[in-house]
Amino acid sequence: MLTVVPESAGGDEPRRDQPDHSPALIDELVREGARRMLAEALQAEVDDYIARHADERDTHGRRLVVRNGSHQPREVLTSAGAVEVRAPRVNDRRVDPDTGARRRFSSAILPPWCRRTPKITEVLPLLYLHGLSSGDFVPALGQFLGSTTGLSAATVTKLTETWKADQRTFAARDLSQVDYVYLWADGIHVNIRLEEHKLCLLVMIGVRADGRKELIALADGYRESTESWADLLRDCARRGMRAPVLAVGDGALGFWGALREVFPATREQRCWFHKIANVLGALPKSAQPGAKKALAEIWNAEDRRRALDAVAAFSAAYGAKFGKAVAKLTDDLDELLAFYDYPAEHWQHLRTTNPIESTFATVRHRTKITRGPGSRAAGLAMAFKLIEAAQDRWRAVNGPHLVALVRAGAVFEAGRLVERPADRHHPEAA
C-alpha cells in the first residue's frame, strides 16, 4: 500500500503543530500543575470541614459553618518553584463553650503563616551549612525558584536559630532505651571567628545492637581534657547510657582516663590511623615508606598471632636505630590489637575513628568558607545539624547481626565465633 507523506512532514522545516518543550515552558507547566493540585487539595479540605459540621445550625436553622469566598492570593515557595495560591475561606460562626471565643478554621495543608513548604524550610539551612553564604540566597535561589519572596539573609539566619534548640533537646534526651555496643570518640577543633580560642567539639558515635551507627553525644569541651570527657560520659550515664563493650579513640585523648572512671568495664581500642602518624613522625622521611608498609602488616594481619609476629619483625628492623618509634607502637600494643577479639566483619570499623573523621570533613569545609562560626553556641549547633544530615547516609557495620552477640559476651577467635568456648578448655576424656 502506498503511503502519502504531507510536504510539511518532510524536509528541514519544523512542524508548526508541535508544542515547544523548552526548559522555561517545562518549568511553567510544573508550577501550573503544582498550583492546580494545591488548589484542589485546599478545596477538598474545606469541603470536608464544612460537611463534618453541616448538621450544626443556629436557632433559625441556618448552617454555622459555610464557605465565604477566598483569601487574597499569595506566593508559596515549593520544590516546584514559586506557586500563587488563592485559598478558600470559611465562615465558622460556632462559639467555644469553655472560652466563649469564635472557632476558626485553620488549614493543615497551608497554615496562615506558611510562605515556604517544609522541604524548602529544611533545604535553606542545609545549603548554608554546606557553603552557600546567607547573602547569596536571593540571587542564587531566586532564579531557581522563580521568585525571591520569603528569601533573605535575615530569613536564613532566623531559621538557623532553631538549630540551637534542636541541639539542646538532643543533648538532654533519654538514653536508657538504646544500647551502644561499640563507641568512637574524638575531639574536633573548630575556629571561632569572634573569639581567640578554638571550639573543641567532643564527639561520640556509637553502634547500636542492630548494627546501625548513631550520634551519641556532641559537646563543647576544654582542650579534650580528662575532666571535660568525664563530664560528658557522666551526663550520658545519668541519662541511662549503658557501658559500651569497646571504645575506639586516639591514644592522646583525655578520654581514656574519663572512660576508666565512668565505664571501667569498657575495653579500649587505639586508632591505627593516629598511631601510624605518630610512629612515622618519629622516623626520618627516608625510612617512612618501608615502615608504613611494615605497620600495615600488623593491623592487616590475618589474626592476633600473625600480628604479633609482624610487631616482632618491625621491632627487629627499626628498634636499633629508632627505638622511640618502636616504643610508640609497643607501649599501646594490647589496645592496638584489641579488635582481633571481635568478629572479623567488624575489624575494619574498629581499627580507626574514621566514622568521626569522615563526618567532620563537612564541618571543616563549612567553617573554612565562613572563617568559623561567630560563637561557640553557633559552632556547636552547626556541627550538630551537619552530623544530623549526614547520619541518614551512614551505613550499618558489616555483619550487623553479630553486634548483639558481642553484647551478649560471645567469644571470637581469629574473628570467628566460638560456639562452645567452655568445651575448648575442658575437653571430655576419650
Pairing assessment for the beta strands 246-249 and 180-190 based on DSSP bridges: parallel
Q: How far apart are the first and last CA of the chain?
A: 94
CA distance 206 to 1: 74
Element (H, E) at 50: helix 23-52
Residues comprising the chain, all counted: 430
What's the pLDDT score for residue 351? 95
CA 226 to chain centre: 27
The one-letter amino acid code at 46 reads V
What's the pLDDT score for residue 246? 98
Cell of 427: 575437653
* CA-CA-CA-CA dihedral for 111, 114, 120, 122, to nearest 10: -80
What's the pLDDT score for residue 144? 44
What's the pLDDT score for residue 143? 46
What residues have CB less than 8 Å from 315, skipping those under 6 apart? 326, 329, 330
CA distance 162 to 402: 38
User: What DSSP assignment string belongs to 365-424?
Assistant: HHHHHHTS-SSHHHHHHHHHHHHHHHHTTPPPPSSGGGHHHHHTT-EEETTEEES-HHHH
Angle between helices 153-171 and 118-129 (to 10 degrees): 90
Q: Are 185 and 207 in contact (CB under 8 A)?
A: no
What residues have CB less than 8 Å from 115, skipping those under 6 apart? 74, 75, 76, 77, 149, 150
What's the pLDDT score for residue 430? 41
382: closest CA among 81, 63, 159, 99? Answer: 159
CA distance 62 to 127: 52
Burial annotation 132-150 (CB, 10 A radius, 16+ → b, else e): bebeebeeebeeebbbbeb
What's the pLDDT score for residue 413? 93
Q: Are 232 and 425 in contact (CB under 8 A)?
A: no
Local confidence pLDDT in tens for the 430 residues of the chain: 444 444 444 444 445 555 555 555 665 665 666 667 667 777 887 888 888 888 888 888 888 888 888 887 777 666 555 667 777 888 888 888 878 788 887 776 566 655 555 455 555 555 555 555 555 555 555 544 445 555 555 655 666 677 788 889 999 999 999 999 999 998 887 766 545 556 788 999 999 999 999 999 999 876 678 999 999 999 999 999 999 999 999 987 789 999 999 999 999 999 999 999 999 999 999 999 999 999 999 999 999 999 999 999 999 999 999 999 999 999 999 999 999 999 999 999 999 999 888 877 666 555 554 444 456 777 788 788 878 877 888 899 999 999 999 999 999 999 999 987 766 655 544 4
**Residue 275 burial by Cβ neighbours in a 10 Å radius (0-12, 13-18, 19+):** buried
Cell of 288: 617512612
Cell of 286: 627516608
Phi, psi at 31, each rounded to 5°: -65, -40
* DSSP-based three-state secondary structure for 99: coil
C-beta atoms surrounding 325 within 10 Å: 23
C-beta atoms surrounding 1 within 10 Å: 2
* DSSP-based three-state secondary structure for 31: helix
The one-letter amino acid code at 52 reads R
Q: Are 413 and 340 in contact (CB under 8 A)?
A: no
Element (H, E) at 138: helix 137-145
What's the pLDDT score for residue 9? 45
